[in-house]
Amino acid sequence: MSRVACVACGLVFLLAGWQSEACAREELPFLRVAVDTPNPPFAVLDKRGNVSGFDVDITYALCTELKRTCIIKPMAFEGIISAIVAEEVDIAVAGMGVTEERLRLVDFTDKYYRSLSLYIGRRGVVRGLSPEELKGLRIGAQRDTIQEQYLRQHFKNTATIVPVATQDTALNMASNGQLDLVLVDGLGGYAFLKTEAGAVLEIFGDPLADANMTSACIAVSKKQPELRDAINHALQTLRRNGEYGKINRKYFNFNIY
C-alpha cells in the first residue's frame, strides 16, 4: 500500500472515530444547566448575553467528560430549584449548599468547591456582630440562600433582614448605603472588595465555620440519579487530570476545592 493510501486510510479511521463520538453525543439529549447570574466571578453576563465565569468553565469541562452537549441557562438563584423540579433544567451549577428542605426536592453531587460565608459592611457604620450591636441595622443576603436562612435564625428579633435577588446586588447596596451589612459567600465577597465599589466596605468578624455553609454542590433532578453519579465521577476525573486546577487558577490564586 502506498504512503498516500495509508494516510488516506488513517484519515478515514480518524474521521470515523470523530463521527462515532459525535453521533454518541447526539443520541443523548442536551444537558440543560442553570447558573446563578449575575454572580461574579462564578457567572457573569456580558452586554451581548454571553455568560462566563468559574461555574461556566466547570460546566463545559464536565460536559466534555460526560460527552454531552450542554445548554447553559442563566437565571435568578431563587428560581433554580423550582426550575429543576419543573424539568426546565436538569442540573444547577450554582454554588448551592445542601439543606434538608432542598434535599426533599432535588439531589446533590459531592462538593465541587468550598467557601466560607463572610459579613461585609460599610466602614464606620457597623460596630460589631452581637445582637445588641446589630440592633436596628439592615442586614442583607441573597434570597433563598443558606446565608438568608442563617440571618433569620440568629438575628430576626434584632436586625431588619433584607432578602435581595443577587449577591452582587446585595454588595452594591452595602456599598451605596442601602444596607449596613451583608452575609455573603466569601469567594464572591472577596472579589467584590477588590472593585472600586468595594473600597468603602470591610470584613467583620471571622468567617462562619458552619459545616452546612462551606460545601458548594451541584443540584440534580431526582429523576436522574445516574446523572448525579456520572457527574461525581467526572468531577474526580477533572481533579486527577489537572483540568479542575487549571480552571481554579484562572479565577483564584488559591485552591477552592
**Which ranges in the chain belong to alpha helices (H)?**
3-27, 54-66, 80-85, 100-103, 131-134, 146-155, 167-175, 186-193, 225-241, 243-251
For 225-249, what is the mean pLDDT? 98
Task: Say yes or no to pLDDT of 249 above 60.
Answer: yes
Task: Say yes or no to pLDDT of 211 above 70.
Answer: no
For 125-132, what is the mean pLDDT? 89
Orientation of helix 225-241 relative to helix 54-66, angle to 10°: 100
Task: Say yes or no to pLDDT of 74 above 70.
Answer: yes
**What is the per-residue pLDDT for 4?**
42
- CA-based max dimension of the chain: 88
**What is the per-residue pLDDT for 18?**
44
Task: Say yes or no to pLDDT of 120 above 80.
Answer: yes
Locus of grid cell 448525579 = 228
Bridge partners (DSSP) of residue 32 are 71
Task: Say yes or no to pLDDT of 84 above 60.
Answer: yes
CB atoms within 10 A of CB 47: 5
Percent composition of the chain: helix, strand, coil (DSSP 3-state, to 5): 45, 25, 30
CATH of the domain at 132: 3.40.190.10
148 in a structural domain:
yes
256 in a structural domain:
no
Task: Say yes or no to pLDDT of 20 above 50.
Answer: no
Q: Are residues 170 and 189 in the same domain?
A: yes
18 in a structural domain:
no
Q: For residue 228, give its domain range.
A: 24-115+214-251
For 61-85, what is the mean pLDDT? 97
**What is the per-residue pLDDT for 26?**
55
Question: Per mean pLDDT, which of 69-73, 134-138, 157-161 is the most reliable?
Answer: 69-73
Overall number of domains in the chain: 2
Q: What is the mean pLDDT of the chain?
A: 90
Q: Are residues 107 and 159 in the same domain?
A: no
Bridge partners (DSSP) of residue 119 are 183, 204
Q: What is the pLDDT of residues 157-193, one digit of tens each?
A: 889 999 999 999 999 999 999 999 999 999 999 999 9
Task: Say yes or no to pLDDT of 210 above 50.
Answer: yes
pLDDT band per the 50, 70, 90 thresholds, residue 2: very low
**What is the per-residue pLDDT for 28?**
78
Q: Are residues 206 and 229 in the same domain?
A: no
Q: Are residues 85 and 160 in the same domain?
A: no
**What is the per-residue pLDDT for 251?**
97
Task: Say yes or no to pLDDT of 68 above 50.
Answer: yes
For 82-99, what is the mean pLDDT? 97
Between 53 and 158, the higher pLDDT residue? 53
16 in a structural domain:
no
